[in-house]
Structure 1
Amino acid sequence: MHAIDDYRQVFDRLQASWDTLTLLGQLSGNATEMSGTRSAFEELTASLLNHLAIETRDKVVSDLRTKAQNAIDVLVRNLFERTADIGFLAADTDIREMLEETTPTPAAREAIEARFRDYVAKYSVYSDIVLVDREGAVRARLQAHPAETARHAIIDEALSSSGAYVEHYGVVDFVSEAQSLVYAWRVEDRAKRPLGVLVLVFRLADEMAGIFRKLLPEDDWTILGCATPQGEVIAGSCAIQLPAGLALSPAALQGRDPVLKLGGRQYLTVACRSSGYQGYMGPGWIGLGLLPLEAAFAQGDGALSARIDAGLLAAVTGRSGLFSEDLLTVSRQAAMIQRDLNRSVWNGSIRQAGSTAANAAFSKILLWEISNAGRRTQAVFDASIGDLHRTVVAAIMEKCRSRAAFAIDVMDRNLYERANDCRWWALNATFARVLSEPTPEGARHCGEILATINSLYTVYSNLILFDAKGVVVAISQPGEAHLVGETLAAEWVQRTLALRLDQHYAVSGFEPSPLYAQASTLIYTAAVQAPGGGKTVGGKTVGGIAIVFDSTPQFGAILQDSLPADEAGAALPGAFTLLVAGDGSIISSTDPRFAVGAPSPIVIDPQGLANEGDLAGIRTFEGKHVAVGAALSKGYREYKTSDGHHADVVALCVVPLGDVATDAGARPSSAAANAIAARRLPEGVEAFEAATFHIGRHWLGVKARDVVEAVDLAGLKPSAKQAGDGLLAGYKLHQGDPVPVLRLARLLGIPDGLAEDQQIVIVRAAGRTLGLVVDSLGPIPEIPLAELQPLRDLTAKLEVPALGVVAARDAQGAPAGMLMLLDVDRLGARLDGEPAPPQLRAAE
């Protein structure tokens, strides 16, 4: 972790400075005791570096896990569709009739193989389709192969299984000598007796390469893969580092050892099991993510990190849900040590004020060097923690981008299947025959086929067969039987009937439909052509098939699975995901506040996404800073890339980061204080030293000769009887005596500061001692008496307890702020008539 090594070197140099300053302080005898502060910073440095290492590792592992999880989940969703494909294709009328022939002719085999080519033209995820009869003879297939019989056990299993499909990965004798992923199911006659087995060979290597390509940018060192539970690598994004067939140790798959030694190289490794899809868990494979250790922590956040300015970082770092509480504690401890150090240096300077001792000047210089060393140390703490927080925010932005890309990819893949389904089912020979020569029995048979298909494909609310006049002939859902005989009036009906090629399809806009209870959905359609038509322009269209996508739960499930999650798998608080149409209207949302059809709460220009790619950024929304990831639909395989269909759909993923700051500028500017403190007055100038402090944005002070010391606010006891104006904060035990403490902010009409930052300045006023509550301590500069302008020269408000003001100027002589010098005697007079202090024991 090179960045942490760099910080370690900086801390080592600072520690050497502390050693030197501590020694000088001991030699001078007048400087503040430094050993406690030195030790505190030393201990905190070790803790900080440890936390930085943990957080850096966790960020990299989280990013690696997200990629590996996306890879296996996308694959499983793809394979879920294959489990349905084998079921409906095995029920295809042409395939069944071919197996029913006792001695099929070469022409029959050629016709069914042409049918297979039609299928793969629509479902390009398959490399081969094999049809085997009951005796194991290969009746037809898509790809040439010398095997004429199938002896693999998958045939017997498909003929006898009680399930809905058979899934197998391994060497299949009639497919290939290499490992193959196949899906098989039996073909039955009308009486449900087995005629043979249909086998689909999935293009696994091609599919995995596509998944890896989408998840890994060119400059990414990450290696993705998947493996069997036994450790055999099925596919890897790098054939050299993670080749298929490689055997991995069980420890690499069970997460017991995060570092994997492979081929003489060490890899940071994660293994992820699929979360499943609609109850389907896939073949049980495991997603792998590997990252070479030498590159794991060298990948910067680039442009994402650069977009996070200091103001935004300050607004979001208080959220323990996003940042480690331990790391926040380190930051608070560093601030407390620095605050105590500043007070110690401030008090040391007060003790030196007005001193004529020979070493007073040296002691003052030493004290300010100690203070500067503290500020440098605090700055390094803040910078290192800030860099890490910036990295964490950038990681959340990247997670939003990644999850948006995941959502849009899954949506494209899902709709790719819908565009294929309608076109394939439109080729069913029974549908063409019945629509060409309609009969009541034929219509009932079509309804049975549609119902069987719909039982396999739960993503549809209904499947509808209609004739050339748009009249509904059959439906898949018995509850929608009233539709039969009705004429469909939607505009997509005529577009469907105008289609002339079986590779063409139509799709409705995402809009309310009476076929979906007036809710918005997509309806995919294809033309049914008379037997023998569809290969060339001019085929006779006899009707069409419409498939009503069950969009509400399906889009909802995609978005729900796309929500960014923490390490425990729980969605990040307040996160939501959206699908948004090109016109800016919502298609689906995980947040009930954003209804379907309403304008998107966050506007993203689809054209900008098309030009620049996926987006990750920060927006303000509902008074919060939010990380936003956006991805534009780019299609999948042929869908929306070469089929003529186009629709701008954007996936959005949003995670709240923190409230937008409303108190910007409440902290004092240090420009004025630094300008005066840095001055060196010439000899002979009559001057006084001012002990300064801040309340809100205001810079105030008193003459240093009137100050006893600054103390912590802890131990302040409330007064038995508060003053009517609330100026008395209480009593502070100081050197055994109770000291009344004034709320200086209220006296001056300034908003109260933050309690955790406040301190008490003990002053002597008109023979009595009192305390002043301040927000933070400032420098103790020398001020020429001539620069003090009496307050009466500036305002007629004589009730303000001030001696005057001092105008500060920067090195160029420009105005840099103003210091108000308070009159401690008039402050003390405000306590006249206050009740006697409580009897505080010195032990308190």
Structure 2
Amino acid sequence: MRAAESLRHGWSGRRLKVSASKGFDADPSLSGLGRHMHAIAAYREELGRLQASWDTLSLLGELSGNATEMAGTRAAFGELSTALLHHLAIETHRKALADLRTKAQNGINILVRNLFERTADIGFLSADGHIRDLLEADTEDAGARAALEARFREYVAKYSVYSDIILLDREGEVRARLEPHAKSASHHAILAEVMASEAAYVEHFGPLDIVSDEKRLVYAWRVERPGQRPLGVLILVFRLADEMEGIFGNLIAPDDWTVLACASPDGTIIASSCPIQAPAGLKLPPSALRPSDKPLRLGGRQYLAVACEAAGYQGYLGPGWSCIGLLPLEAAFEREEGQVVDGVDAGLLDSVTGDPALFSDELRIVSRKAGVIQRDLNRSVWNGWIKQTDSTEANVAFSKLLLSEVSNAGRKTQAVFDASIGDLYRTVIAAILEKCRSHAAFAIDVMDRNLYERANDGRWWALDATFAKALAEPSPEGFRSCASVLASINALYTVYSNLILFDAAGRVVAVSQPGQEHLLGTALDGEWVSRALSLRSTQDYAVSRFEPTALYGEAATYIYAAGISGRNGRPLGGVAIVFDSTPQFDAMLHDALPADAAGRPLTGAFALFLDEAGKVIASTSQRFVIGSVCDLAIDLGSVAPKQDLSRIIAFEGRYYAIGAVISQGYREYKTQDGYRSDVIAVCAVPLGAVTEGRVAVPAAANAATLARKSGERGPETEIATFHIARHWLGVPARDVVEAVDAVDMKPAAATLAGTIFAGYKLYKGAPVPVLRLETRLGISGGPREDQQIVIVRSAGSLLGLLVDTLGTIPAVQQSDIMPIRELTSRDDVPATGVVGNAGSGEGMLMLLDVDRLGLDVLGRTPFRAQAAE
């Protein structure tokens, strides 16, 4: 009657649908994104097909009248499917946004660090004596102008980030410049702004009559002598388009769909990696500059979009621009990280799954619930099969077949869950690996750019006429003047611990720091000194190895040096700049550490700079001492330009995601100037503890092997099997009452703790003693959260056997059972025999003696006493 009612009312009305809407759009942030998540959509379709199978099996179960009730399992899987798809979509969306945000944040931070150097350049160059001399001349001198313009060319040859240098007098007349221009005078408001400003520089982005009608980024400052009326204005024209092209090129791989754009505070695009999708001058809608999870519509296309403001550098925040990251929705959720996480083993997946910093509680609950549902289903099917043992009802064969199909459907459903959650875990791991790689790339890029400036500074300062004159005509007064110049430079460029002027014999004649005056008259002994003195071109420079030096308090650093030549080309001496490496490299690495949503560095993450031999140059972790050899299990030889390293390693009991990127230089630095020094940046994020001695527990019963055709050689015995660790055990199915969950088991008394007695399980109102089989059989293993109890009839009573997982229930030919006495002479083995091949491919099956096991527990006085209680 019940089946007929079900058919009459129609099963389609009861079907649990796993819809795209329900799966994705339950969260407002995912609105409209579901159709672009192709991998998740495939899982949704597969789960939908499985729900149809559950509907059919439920109907057949009601028609049979004696199959296991499946309504609860069917409903639980349906609800969990919706939750799973929802969380998969959230995590997929989160990963895509995180990748995009990292690129955008790195883009604006790199730019701001570059522009910070420009604010120092304009202040220093505007104080150049040659510039002041030309402006103070009563009449214009073509020769003096040509000489100054030649000096400008020397400057730009070193600081190639500038396209032009312009010198104006107080009236705005051009007195010298690099690039020809139709206008010989400026009437722009920047002149008045510079004259009135109390800052250290003026930063201007926009048209400038003396430069271009198009927007340009310039840095300007007045030329003056202290306490006197300003003489004029110096303007440096920054190669913004060229610089942004380099930044975007480093951040976006050739096959990457990402678009990066630099935008002004009002949303106007200043520069873009793709002038077709985001052309310069386009004004973005206000929503593009605000935090939002909703897609951005732009030019008839939808994008994931993020906007990142500069983190700032030493208090400098840049011109107030943002970097906008755009990713077309049709490509936003394509997953190509498979190769990155190839070889990720189950131990690692187990480790990262339990880390709340990597996976939300909700997602981890979904994974646990799926396992619980499958375990309960397996037990239900197993018990249903037990009930059919020795049954004489006519529909036994149909019921067993139905149970096999139910188990098969559960296995397929669980397989989809496992595959989708496993894909998600790998997706998250791949995201962390990419984060490590990109942060390492940021660190090494910042290092290269910073040291590019150091190479420039030394070469430029070596051209100061004050130094050449003092070295050519040595005098205390001349060297004091040199010390004053060095001190003023060092005040502007705080990245140096000391600036040193030395003569042709390598003796120190002037220093920038009063505290370093003890060096005066001493001879410099580094091998870099002789190299600096042998340099013949103003474009050449020498760099020390990264090693401890007395010039830096016996700590390790780089020293950059440039030679100073006389009129006849004879070396007069040189300028050495002692880089303040410890705080500077430390700041670079800390800025490169991956952070959480609140901007705090991820717990346990660290970053390193290593030389080509693996020695530590700088580190954010005290574990890695400067000068020591890094003992991380990574092959530095495999880190080549354009071949960044991303992998997972085990280190000191933890798994780590590692990203490593080698120095590629910046502009001419390390690319065209002859200098080579391979430095590798490493970024590491912990993934979880390495679990030693992890025991692989066989999977639960496979429905395909539950049924076995009867043989023709003789009588059969159905064996109810189960697993403890890797061991396959079983008892005659006729001796089994039921398998139950091991929860709410009353533990053994203190006097019995640690014995083979595990405790009591209340079964149908009566306590049943439970035997710890792994202890009785001497099997290495340990307690598991999902253990189950097989209740058997033993020695006239009920006995519980604590097992890890339930196995198959094969029908075994009695002739295939080898008696235990033929295998061993021991009389303490609680087994009756061994089956070499039970038809399941699970190996050797040991058939236990339930009566013997019962006597082990029930035949002892303490158990009787406790049972009586």
Q: Deviations over 1:58-88 (max 9, x none)?
A: 0100000011111111101111111111111
The answer on whether the counterparts of 2:833 and 2:846 sit within 8 Å (CA) in structure 1 is yes
Q: 1:396 to 1:284 in 2, by over 3 A?
A: same
Note the 1:486-505 alignment, pairs <5 A.
Answer: 486-505=522-541
Distance 2:501 2:786 in 1: 74
Decide which of 649, 662, 666 is 1:619's aligned counterpart: 649
Contact 1:251 1:257 in 2 (8 A): no
In 1, Cα distance between equivalents of 2:776 and 2:141:
106
Gaps in structure 1 of 5+ consecutive residues: none
1:302 is displaced (CA, Å) by 4.3
Instruction: Verify the 8 A CA contact 2:711 2:813 in the aligned structure 1.
Output: no
Equivalent residue letter for 2:801 = L
Question: Which position in structure 2 is the counterpart of 1:785?
Answer: 814
Q: Which residue of 2 aligns with 1:659?
A: 689
Counterparts of 1:256-267 in structure 2 under 5 Å? Answer: 256=292, 258-267=294-303
Which residue identity is paired with 1:276? G
Residue 587 of structure 2 aligns with which residue? 557
CA–CA distance in 2 between the matches of 1:659 and 1:704?
41
Contact 2:404/2:706 (<8 A) preserved: no
Q: Mapping of 1:41-80 within 5 angstroms?
A: 41-80=77-116
Amino acid at match of 1:178: E
In structure 2, the residue matched to 1:166 is 202
Distance 1:809 1:734 in 2: 31
Equivalents in 2 of 1:151, 1:331: separation in Å?
69
Aligned partners of 1:249, 1:485: CA distance in 2, in Å? 64
Check the 8 A contact 2:768/2:799 in 1, yes or no: yes
* Distance of aligned partners of 1:751 and 1:816 in 2 relative to their CA distance in 1, 3 Å threshold: closer
1:796 aligns to 2:825 (yes or no): yes
What residue is the counterpart of 2:16 in the other structure? none
Aligned to 2:427: 391
Deviations 1:690-712 (A, max 9, x none): 11111111111111111110111
TM-superposed CA distance for 1:281, in Å, is 1.2
- For normalisation by structure 1, the TM-score amounts to 0.95
Residue 725 (structure 1) shift: 5.9
CA distance in 2: counterparts of 1:828 and 1:578, whole angstroms = 62
The answer on 1:109 being equivalent to 2:145 is yes
Matches within 5 A, 1:479-518: 479-518=515-554
Residue 742 of structure 1 is matched in structure 2 by 771
Secondary structure in structure 2 of the residue aligned to 1:244: coil
Deviations 1:339-379 (A, max 9, x none): 11111111111111111211111111111110111111001
- One-letter amino acid of the structure 2 residue matched with residue 370 of structure 1: V
What residue identity is the alignment partner of 2:460?
A: W
The aligned counterpart of 2:862 is 834
Distance in 2 (CA, whole Å) between partners of 1:690 and 1:354 is 12
2:618 counterpart of 1:600: no
Q: 132, 135, 138: which one pairs with 1:99?
A: 135
Cα deviation, 1:639-680, whole Å, max 9, x if unaligned, reads 111101011111111222233342344423789x89975642
Distance 2:752 2:516 in 1: 79
Cα gap change, 1:729 to 1:299, in 2 (>3 Å): closer
Alignment of 1:143-182 (within 5 A): 143-182=179-218
Which structure 2 residues correspond to residues 629-668 of structure 1 after superposition, within 5 A? Answer: 629-668=659-698
Identity of aligned residues (%): 61
CA separation of 1:490/1:682 partners in 2, compared to 1, >3 Å: closer, same or farther? closer
Contact 1:501 1:539 in 2 (8 A): no
CA contact (8 A) 1:626 1:658 kept: yes
- Give the structure 2 partner of residue 185 of structure 1: 221
Q: Residue 577 of structure 2: which of 534, 541, 547 is its match? A: 547
* 1:701–1:724 distance in 2 versus 1, CA, 3 Å: same
Q: CA deviation at 1:799?
A: 1.1
Question: Aligned partners of 1:196 and 1:823: how far apart in 2?
Answer: 104
1:249 aligns with 2:285: yes
Distance 1:837 1:356 in 2: 40
Q: Supply the RMSD in Å over aligned alpha carbons.
A: 2.0
Moved more, 717-726 or 415-424: 717-726
Q: Which amino acid aligns with 1:515?
A: L
Aligned to 2:389, which of 353, 374, 384? 353
1:825 aligns with 2:851: yes
Deviations 1:184-236 (A, max 9, x none): 11222265652221111100000000101111111111000111111111111
- List per-residue Cα deviations over 1:383-407 (Å, max 9, x = no partner): 0010111111111111111111111
The residue aligned with 2:605 is 575
Contact persistence 1:675–1:810 (CA under 8 A): no
**How many residue pairs get matched?**
831
Mean CA deviation greater in 645-654 or 801-810: 801-810
- Counterpart of 2:3 in structure 1 is none
Tell me what 1:691 maps to: 720
Task: Give, in whole Å, the separation in 1 of the partners of 2:582 and 2:754.
Answer: 61
Q: In 2, are the aligned partners of 1:72 and 1:274 still within 8 Å (CA)? A: yes
Q: Does the 8 A contact of 1:86 with 1:184 survive in 2?
A: yes
1:829 counterpart letter in structure 2: L
CA offset at residue 102 of structure 1? 1.9
Q: Deviations over 1:92-117 (max 9, x none)?
A: 12111111112121111111111111
Cα distance in 1, alignment partners of residues 103 and 526 from structure 2:
42
Matches within 5 A, 1:651-730: 651-668=681-698, 677=706, 679-683=708-712, 685-720=714-749, 722-723=751-752, 726-730=755-759
Kept in 2, the 8 Å contact 1:62–1:567? The answer is no
- Structure 2 residue identity aligned to 1:362: F
Q: Distance in 1 between matches of 2:698 and 2:403?
A: 23
| Residues 213-612 of structure 1: pairs in structure 2 closer than 5 A | 213-256=249-292, 258-530=294-566, 533=567, 539-602=569-632, 604-605=634-635, 607-610=637-640
Change (3 A) 1:641 1:231: same
Q: How far apart are the structure 2 equivalents of 1:327 and 1:781?
A: 36
1:236 & 1:46 partners in 2: Cα distance? Answer: 40
Contact 1:742/1:770 (<8 A) preserved:
yes
Report Cα offsets for 1:773-793 as digits up to 9, x if no partner: 111111111111112222111
What residue in structure 2 maps to residue 130 of structure 1? 166
Give the conservation status (yes or no) of the 8 Å contact 1:413–1:636. Answer: yes
Alpha-carbon offset, residue 633 of structure 1: 0.9
Range with greater deviation from structure 2 (261-270 or 563-572): 563-572
Deviation (angstroms), 1:315: 4.0
For 1:464, what is the secondary structure of its paired residue?
A: strand
SS in 1 for 2:862: coil
Aligned-partner Cα distance in 1 for 2:200–2:74: 72
Is the partner of 1:620 in helix, strand or coil? Answer: strand
TM-score (structure 2 length as normaliser):
0.93
